[in-house]
Amino acid sequence: MAISLQKGGRFNLSKKEPSLKKIFIGLGWDVKPGHTLDLDASVFMLGAGGKIPQDEYFVFYNNLKSPDGAVQHTGDNRTGVGDGDDEVIMAYLPMLSEDIVDILMIITIHDAASKRQNFSMIQNAYIRLVDVESNREIVRYDLAQDYPTSTEVEFGRLTKVNGEWEFVASGTGTQTGLQGYVDKYA
């Protein structure tokens, strides 16, 4: 059975899943009745200085693959309708550039500012990691908290600590727009 994390929880993948290579990162959400929102998954792959080493380490619907080939976005979902994963990121750990120490999974609301939308209109949000080889869910984080003012939320991140990869259930909401992340990390 998969481990279920609370906000701030951590799971050491290198220690507990030493054979893990290819990770299916499923991101899910539902739009509350009466609203129409388009959410997008983005990945920022950061070096030790807290910045992306080059532009293409920002992986999103217009740049589906990282330069090292390790992280791939499988495509845009416009509605979030239906149970199960709405957008999916694939990560292949052996191909990851040695320079990368943080991989942030961020969900933004498309045109949130102009449409006056935020995460209070979203429910059933989660992030889960699946081992592709065994098709086994390893760890999951359900974002129980409401985000009344956030226009984007970091659902989770993979972070390298002393050479070991940990998954962190971050659940951090902001209201800077996707551009705010680009300004911060690029």
| Contact footprint for Ca ion (CB under 5 A) | 30, 38, 40, 76-77, 80, 86
CB closer to Ca ion out of 77 and 150: 77
Least spacing, CB of residue 71 vs Ca ion, in Å: 17
Least spacing, CB of residue 125 vs Ca ion, in Å: 9
How far apart are alpha carbons 186 and 182 in whole angstroms? 5
β partners of residue 131: 23, 136
- Pair 48, 101: CB distance under 8 Å: yes
Least spacing, CB of residue 156 vs Ca ion, in Å: 17
CB closer to Ca ion out of 30 and 166: 30
- Pair 12, 113: CB distance under 8 Å: no
How far apart are alpha carbons 152 and 57 in whole angstroms? 19
CB closer to Ca ion out of 20 and 140: 140
CB closer to Ca ion out of 77 and 170: 77
SS3 state of residue 3: strand
